[in-house]
């Protein structure tokens, strides 16, 4: 993997133990140096992951018309389904992102996105939402597909397992940075957390180097992924090394998002990643065909967010001061709105959001 593996068990058993402290320091260092890590959580089983993947394969195998009934563009696609060829990788509109790719060594270089991603996505809200908020589109009611009576039970179980894992990790990272363990979890309480699986149709899109998720970073706090049945995810460590992700059974991959970068004043940098068709993907396709299994590639992803109405700012009181001026204070919901606009999922039509977006632009 070439990515550190963090064991959550010691912290869950006794957060004051020396073993727990060592894992906390390791977690903070991993995010600072690599932007990503792998977690091993005793609460997570491969059986639960398989149940979730089975459900999502069945969902995405439906007709386009059936799936589009679950589409909510009026809410910025922040609940329900996002069809393929809607979400636009940030690199297609961000010259600095393209410059990052151009400066990479050839053997570590990302693929340059050329248009919208040919993947579907489903957003399922996790946890409680605030009773009052300025950002209703980020806290809208969930969409339940009609053909799946077990939908809520399966989604909530798997989403809760991953949310529990990333919440425990956020506490460990806080301890590793010599902060109170609940500093991040307090900021994330009632945040617009999402279980956000993607579906990519490998029966239609199976040419080598097809881009399913163009080179990008995530806009949220922390992103956690379960193991997919088809490889193809590349992540870039902070030192520029590209890693072909191979998540062990029972483990989860975690990546830093922009909100964590903001809170740490750039001590942690949001991790770049992409999903493409690789040689290993093609080999997995042939195995799936031989076994008469689904050819939909499902990613099992949860986005942990800071609450929309909280101020996003560098936590300078805990030592994150070096580049704090690059990260202006703003409502977290405004930061999200700006990012959704860049992805062409939402138009910024509020002048305050537009002004905040312009101010935030200096960090990219």
- Using DSSP's 3-state secondary structure scheme, residue 174 falls into helix
Task: Say if 109 falls within a structural domain.
Answer: no
- Return the DSSP state at 149: T
* C-alpha atoms less than 13 angstroms from C-alpha of 237 in its C-beta half-sphere: 16
Per-residue pLDDT tens digits for 229-244: 999 999 998 888 999 9
In a domain, 355, yes or no: no
What is the per-residue pLDDT for 103? Answer: 94
Report the alpha-carbon distance of residue 312 to residue 309 in Å, rounded.
9
Distance of CA 89 to CAs 68, 234, 252, Å?
21, 15, 24
In a domain, 44, yes or no: yes
In the chain, the number of structural domains is 1
pLDDT tens, residue by residue, 69-99: 999 998 878 899 999 999 888 788 788 889 9
Give the pLDDT confidence score for residue 259 in this predicted structure: 98
For residue 256, the enclosing domain spans 5-87+119-322
Break the chain down into helix, strand, coil percent, rounded to 5. Answer: 40, 15, 45
The pLDDT tens digits for 313-327 are: 999 999 999 999 999
CATH of the domain at 21: 2.60.120.330
CA distance 321 to 314: 7
* Per-residue pLDDT tens digits for 155-201: 999 999 999 999 999 999 999 999 999 999 999 999 999 999 999 99
Angle between the N-to-C axes of helices 151-176 and 46-60, in degrees from 0 to 180, rounded to the nearest 10:
130
In a domain, 298, yes or no: yes
pLDDT band, very low/low/confident/very high, at 362 (cuts 50, 70, 90): very low
Does residue 304 form part of some domain?
A: yes
Confidence bin at 253 (pLDDT 50/70/90): very high
Which single residue is written with the structure tokens 């002048």? 351
CA distances from 15 to 25, 88, 163, 251, 263 (A): 12, 41, 19, 20, 23
pLDDT computed for residue 96 by the predictor: 87
| Mean pLDDT of the 278-296 span | 98
């Amino acid at each position: 993997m070439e990515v550190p593996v963090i064991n959550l068990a010691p912290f869950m058993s006794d957060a004051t133990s020396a073993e727990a402290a060592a894992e906390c320091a390791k977690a903070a260092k991993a995010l600072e140096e690599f932007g990503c890590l792998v977690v091993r959580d005793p609460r997570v089983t491969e059986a639960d992951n398989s149940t979730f993947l089975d459900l999502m394969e069945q969902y995405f195998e439906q007709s386009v018309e059936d799936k589009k009934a679950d589409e909510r563009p009026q809410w910025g696609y922040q609940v329900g389904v996002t069809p393929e060829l809607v979400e636009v990788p940030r690199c297609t509109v961000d010259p600095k992102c393209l410059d990052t790719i151009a400066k990479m060594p050839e053997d570590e270089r990302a693929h340059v996105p050329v248009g919208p991603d040919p993947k579907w996505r489903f957003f399922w809200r996790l946890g409680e939402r605030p009773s009052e908020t300025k950002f209703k589109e980020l806290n809208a009611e969930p969409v339940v597909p009609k053909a799946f009576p077990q939908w809520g039970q399966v989604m909530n179980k798997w989403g809760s397992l991953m949310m529990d894992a990333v919440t425990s990790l956020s506490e460990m990272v806080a301890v590793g940075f010599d902060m109170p363990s609940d500093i991040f979890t307090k900021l994330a309480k009632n945040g617009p957390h999402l279980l956000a699986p993607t579906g990519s149709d490998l029966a239609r899109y199976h040419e080598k180097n097809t881009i399913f998720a163009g080179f990008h970073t995530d806009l949220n706090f922390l992103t956690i992924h379960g193991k997919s049945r088809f490889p193809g995810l590349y992540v870039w460590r902070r030192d520029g090394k590209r890693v072909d992700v191979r998540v062990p059974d029972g483990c989860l991959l975690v990546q830093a998002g922009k909100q964590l970068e903001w809170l740490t004043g750039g001590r942690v940098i949001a991790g770049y990643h992409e999903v493409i068709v690789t040689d290993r993907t093609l080999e997995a396709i042939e195995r799936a065909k031989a076994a008469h299994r689904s050819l939909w590639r499902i990613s099992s992803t949860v986005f942990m967010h800071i609450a929309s109405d909280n101020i996003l700012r560098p936590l300078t009181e805990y030592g994150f001061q070096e580049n704090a001026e690059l990260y202006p204070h703003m409502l977290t919901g405004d930061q999200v709105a700006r990012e959704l606009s860049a992805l062409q999922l939402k138009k910024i039509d509020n002048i305050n959001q537009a002004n905040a977006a312009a101010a935030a632009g200096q960090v990219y």
